[in-house]
Amino acid sequence: MKFLLTLSRGIDALNTRVGKAVTWLTLIVVFISAGNAVVRKLFSVSSNAWLELQWYMFGAIFLLAAGYTFLRNEHVRVDVLAHRFSKRTQIKIEIFGVLFFLLPACLLIFWLSIPVFYGSFVQHELSSNAGGLIRWPAKLLIPVGFFLLILAGISHLIKCIAFLKGQGSDPTNVTQGKSAEEALAEDILRQAQEKLPGQADDVRGKGY
């Protein structure tokens, strides 16, 4: 189990490095999007290459950060019944979901995306838009992103098993501090208190 936990920590470190690096792409995309809009509005000039670069980077953010999002437990959960069960039962449901849903789906997409990328790379596929970019870097993001998500799933599976064996902490509670949803809810409540103090209690009473 120690080797598996070491492997899990290595996977988490990799996804953390990738996730933090990808956050900088968000800032870059903002500048590129703003620049495209300003140039188009002020000078009536548009570039397909810059527009496609903007789309490529958005795809990179979405795909490459998927594993990091899973690691941080920030993905969307729809727990209708699971939260009513004991923690051990919840972890067993996690294991079932990873083994029979997450990993099979990710492995299938990863496997099918490799020949798509390879064909584009070999053929030096270009965009169908005038002045557009080459296509294979965007298609490479698909297998790479899902490979990172597969690794994150394996790491999560190891931590779930370690928890059941009493050799690890709860892997579903990895977020340090408040979750993004909790922070957003508190921010909405704070704004309601500042603008309409009388309605803040209504917002709190409705469970927002």
Q: What is the pLDDT of residue 182?
A: 62
Tokens describing residue 97: 């979901």
The verdict on 53 and 90 lying in the same domain is yes
The verdict on 200 and 140 lying in the same domain is no
The verdict on 122 and 191 lying in the same domain is no
Statement: the pTM of the whole predicted model exceeds 0.85: no
Contacts of 82 (CB under 8 A, 6+ apart): 89, 90, 93
Q: What is the mean pLDDT of residues 124-151?
A: 91
The verdict on 59 and 81 lying in the same domain is yes
The verdict on 163 and 148 lying in the same domain is yes
The verdict on 87 and 171 lying in the same domain is yes
The verdict on 87 and 11 lying in the same domain is yes
The verdict on 186 and 158 lying in the same domain is no
The verdict on 198 and 171 lying in the same domain is no
The verdict on 14 and 96 lying in the same domain is yes
Q: What is the pLDDT of residue 170?
A: 83
pLDDT in tens, 46-102: 788 888 888 899 999 999 999 999 998 887 777 777 778 888 888 898 899 999 999
Kindly indicate the confidence band of residue 146, based on its pLDDT and cuts at 50, 70 and 90. very high
The verdict on 132 and 197 lying in the same domain is no
Q: Which domain holds residue 191?
A: 180-208
The whole-chain average pLDDT of the chain stands at 85
Q: How many domains does the chain have?
A: 2
pLDDT in tens, 17-44: 999 999 889 889 989 888 888 888 888 8
The verdict on 116 and 207 lying in the same domain is no
Which candidate, 56, 199, 26, 52, places its Cα nearest to that of 140? 56
